Amino acid sequence: MTHAKTQRHLDNWRDEMNGAAIYDALSQAEPEPTRKDIFRQLAESERRHAKVWLAKLEAAGVPAPRFRPELKTRLMRRLIRWFGPGFVITTVAAAEFADRNKYAGQADAAALSGEERGHAAIVQAIARGPVGGPTIAEAEPWHQGVASGNDLRAAVLGANDGLVSNLCLILGVAGAGAEPRTVLLTGVAGLLAGAMSMALGEWLSVTNARELAGSQLAREAQELEETPEAEQQELVLIYRAKGMSQEDAERVAGHLMADPATALDALAREELGLDPKELGGNPWRAAATSFVLFALGALMPLLPFLFLQGRVAMVGSVLLSALALLLVGMVTSLFNGRSASFSALRQLLTAGACAAATFGLGRLFGAQLS
């Protein structure tokens, strides 16, 4: 067996073992019995795939490797334990979808390729939530607390915005030769101004979304009252498009239409893509979350100036910000498909280039103004 083939088998084994570790964590944290069992079965399937590659390695005389979860897997498991499956399910579904054809070009993995595509479809269905049936009107923990799996991405980007913007602002003013007190006040002002701006923007966005959702829901309720037959047929077509037979789709739609409240709930979810209990989320919670995340990021380059002076404070600000940027980069690897080391280094280099440019411009304009 060639070295390239051995390495491919080893990489495939690691991928499957990491996938099993994530599904094990999801199964352990998931309170709903059906999804818990699905995650357990997915973990077992990933381990079966891993055994296929392990057998190929052993047949080639390669000793069984010791599995150590990669950094992305350890981060994901920790987030699942802290915030629950709903916080990361969209990220997991996106990763499975991106990898659904990873075995398509591997002749010795034909039997596994179809199963991987099946995994992607299953997790996509879980991320979208239940289809039809009485449970569609029930309040689920899946939709409570955090808004969706996209919260992970939003949280990282919000903290990153605060970190990079305030780092550039502080270094720009420091590069211009401002006094330490001025630099500190500028950093505090940048933190507060940026956090309040982000919070207001998020409040307006969610409020407008709720108002639009409310008007759409009202129109749907009116249509349900005036043309119930047409609305029932819409549900039938939706469920047919999702793979139900004509008979099953008609049965489910008829069951839902027996109760107007349940029918409206189903139409809102299936036709409009709305959760009637959320209507886009809570604007005050969204604003507070945005404020806190931005402020936490913006605090990193500011902290050293609270305790240190002059050049030492600036160096401390750069180092602390660099560590925070590396951490942000590692977390972004959970939803960009790249390695944690690559994502961390890219984050550091791109943000560092922005900060260096701002510092240079500050020195240039500071010299001219003086």
Mean pLDDT of 48-68: 90
pLDDT the model gives residue 324: 94
- Would 231 be classed as within a structural domain? yes
Mean pLDDT of the chain: 83
**Residue 326 shares a structural domain with residue 182:** yes
pLDDT the model gives residue 249: 83
Cα distance from N-terminal residue to C-terminal residue, the chain? 70
pLDDT the model gives residue 244: 78
Most confident of 19-23, 54-58, 155-159, 221-225: 19-23
Task: Among 93, 128, 163, give the residue marking a domain's end.
Answer: 128
Task: Among 224, 240, 272, give the residue marking a domain's end.
Answer: 272
pLDDT the model gives residue 143: 33
Give, as one character, the DSSP assignment of residue 281.
Answer: -
**Residue 107 shares a structural domain with residue 178:** no
**Residue 157 shares a structural domain with residue 287:** yes
pLDDT the model gives residue 141: 33
Most confident of 290-294, 329-333, 336-340: 290-294
- Give the integer Cα–Cα distance in Å for 48 and 31: 25
- Would 260 be classed as within a structural domain? yes
- Would 145 be classed as within a structural domain? no
Give, as one character, the DSSP assignment of residue 136.
Answer: G
Q: Which of 292, 290, 286, 299 is nearest to 165 (CA)?
A: 299
In the block, tokens 């330490």 appear at 180
The full DSSP string for 105-128 is T-GGGHHHHHHHHHHHHHHHHHHH
Q: Which of 162, 185, 159 is nearest to 174 (CA)?
A: 185
**Residue 49 shares a structural domain with residue 188:** no
- Would 176 be classed as within a structural domain? yes
pLDDT reading at 322 higher than 70: yes
- Give the integer Cα–Cα distance in Å for 24 and 230: 44
Longest dimension (CA), the chain: 81
- Would 142 be classed as within a structural domain? no
**Residue 114 shares a structural domain with residue 50:** yes
**Residue 181 shares a structural domain with residue 286:** yes
pLDDT the model gives residue 150: 53
**Residue 36 shares a structural domain with residue 104:** yes
pLDDT (tens digit per residue) in 168-182: 999 999 888 888 889
34-38, 52-56, 119-123, 179-183: segment of lowest average pLDDT: 119-123
Mean pLDDT of 77-82: 92
**Residue 173 shares a structural domain with residue 293:** yes
**Residue 98 shares a structural domain with residue 216:** no
pTM above 0.85, yes or no: no
Mean pLDDT of 235-262: 82
**Residue 193 shares a structural domain with residue 288:** yes
- Would 135 be classed as within a structural domain? no
- Number of domains, the chain: 3
- Would 277 be classed as within a structural domain? no
Mean pLDDT of 25-46: 90
- Would 84 be classed as within a structural domain? yes
**Residue 173 shares a structural domain with residue 310:** yes
pLDDT the model gives residue 368: 63
Q: Which residue has the higher pLDDT, 237 or 161?
A: 161
Most confident of 108-112, 198-202, 229-233: 198-202
Q: Which of 336, 370, 325, 366 is nearest to 167 (CA)?
A: 325
- Give the integer Cα–Cα distance in Å for 15 and 35: 22
- Give the integer Cα–Cα distance in Å for 299 and 151: 21
Residue-range definition of the domain harbouring residue 292? 152-203+282-369
pLDDT the model gives residue 105: 79
Mean pLDDT of 14-43: 91
7-11, 39-43, 112-116, 310-314: segment of lowest average pLDDT: 112-116
pLDDT reading at 153 higher than 50: yes
**Residue 258 shares a structural domain with residue 329:** no
pLDDT reading at 149 higher than 50: no
